[in-house]
Amino acid sequence: MRLDRAELRVVSLPLLRPFRTSFGVVADKTFVLLRVFGDGLEGVAEGVMDARPQYREETIAGALALLQEAVLPEVLGREWANPEALVRHLSGLRGNRMALAVLEMACWDLHARGLGVPLCTLLGGTRDAVEVGVSLGIQPSVEATVDTALRHAEQGYRRIKLKIEPGWDVTVVRAVRAALPDTPVTVDANAAYSLAHLNTLRELDTLGLDYIEQPLAWNDLRDHAKLQALMHTPLCLDECITTAQDARKALETAACRLVNIKVGRVGGHLEARRVHDVAAAFSAPVWCGGMLESGVGRAHNIHLATLENFTKPGDTSSSSRYWARDIVNEPLETTGGIMPVPPGPGIGVTLDVPFLDSVTRWRADIGAPARIAAGSAP
């Protein structure tokens, strides 16, 4: 796998409708897109960091600086046996999991295309389609939430996830559970609660939820362990888990009973697979989370979710729920709550470059630096 050059972009893709969580409202999804080129082929991936450090501590500006100024000049112009070799080379870099994931994921796409096989084959996937649920942002009213949940359940989605925050929780969840008594329903707090909200969390515990996702602080395993000991409903951790070691500690201490794996959050496909394997060793199910990705990130997620222990429906719902037009040519659409794996080598999608150009806010081309041959004069 040779890396000859790279292209970095900042892309801003307008959502069909605003998506509200406890963090705020998103109307346009702005993200880093990386293309790597070598041997006449291309690999592509997108970053999940935001402009402001709300979800995790990384930002778009920080990721661009690290990739453009430090990481890409170090890896371009070289031959790598595979993405694992590149990851080992960069293992001395601390943190910056999201920024490094962009490069690792793009290299996996490039490597799979070079071998002429789908990415899921290299990752060890076991299926050609995955079960998916839907994530519903905070709606204008309880009635609107129920209507939206019913509509998506009728479309066949295998799980309804409701975003919640203090003051928008028990009443709306109770209404949706009443409307959909036989549909798996979950809630995602995005770290908006603390143990001071224990009474509210205990009320949620009585509503028959499949799990409660990341109710407490983004970096607090201890309080999650305290809360899980008081709850019948399983807790699922998201923001707290950035490595397989995090997953082991969370499961060992009973801070959760299942894990949301976001490949961009944990540093790429290799670490995502390790988190998957650790959870399987604890008999804890995992599922593939989403970050409002375009078709590029969505395709990576679908391939990852083919691994055996992804036994809960993930967040890779139809692209048409989010975008009037995606940046990839191939439609990524579900039928009856099932998302097929995009066929073909790599992640199975190709860029709609003219449209991509129209939604690109910034672009930089990075070439391989000149290297001094061993033994030659400087």
Q: What is the pLDDT of residue 22?
A: 82
Q: What is the pLDDT of residue 376?
A: 28
CB neighbour class for 193 (10 Å; exposed up to 12, middle 13-18, buried from 19): buried
Report the alpha-carbon distance of residue 120 to residue 122 in Å, rounded.
5
List, for residues 248-263, the tens digit of each pLDDT value.
999 999 999 999 999 9
Residues 150 and 170 placed together within one structural domain of the fold = yes
Domain limits for position 84: 2-116+352-367
Residues 304 and 170 placed together within one structural domain of the fold = yes
List, for residues 56-78, the tens digit of each pLDDT value.
999 999 999 999 999 999 999 99
Residues 170 and 267 placed together within one structural domain of the fold = yes
Asked if pLDDT for residue 373 goes beyond 80, the answer is no
> Does residue 372 lie within any of the structural domains?
no
Phi, psi of 153 (to 5 degrees): -65, -40
List, for residues 10-46, the tens digit of each pLDDT value.
999 999 998 888 888 898 999 999 999 999 999 999 9
Confidence of residue 80 (pLDDT cuts 50, 70, 90): very high
Characterize the bridge pairing of strands 41-46 and 24-38. antiparallel
> Does residue 331 lie within any of the structural domains?
yes
| Positions marked active-site | 163, 262
Average pLDDT over residues 195-204: 98
**Chain position carrying tokens 């969580």:** 21
Residues 290 and 362 placed together within one structural domain of the fold = no
Phi, psi of 358 (to 5 degrees): -75, -20
Asked if pLDDT for residue 377 goes beyond 50, the answer is no
> Does residue 378 lie within any of the structural domains?
no
Residues 37 and 158 placed together within one structural domain of the fold = no
List, for residues 296-305, the tens digit of each pLDDT value.
999 999 999 9
> Does residue 33 lie within any of the structural domains?
yes
Report the alpha-carbon distance of residue 205 to residue 171 in Å, rounded.
13
Residues 278 and 199 placed together within one structural domain of the fold = yes
Residues 55 and 157 placed together within one structural domain of the fold = no
Look up the CATH number of the domain holding residue 109. Answer: 3.30.390.10
> Does residue 153 lie within any of the structural domains?
yes
Asked if pLDDT for residue 371 goes beyond 70, the answer is no
List, for residues 219-235, the tens digit of each pLDDT value.
999 999 999 999 999 99
Q: What is the pLDDT of residue 378?
A: 25
> Does residue 374 lie within any of the structural domains?
no
Q: What is the pLDDT of residue 369?
A: 81
Characterize the bridge pairing of strands 360-367 and 185-188. unpaired
> Does residue 64 lie within any of the structural domains?
yes
Average pLDDT over residues 307-331: 96
Q: How high does pLDDT run on average in the chain?
A: 95
> Does residue 256 lie within any of the structural domains?
yes
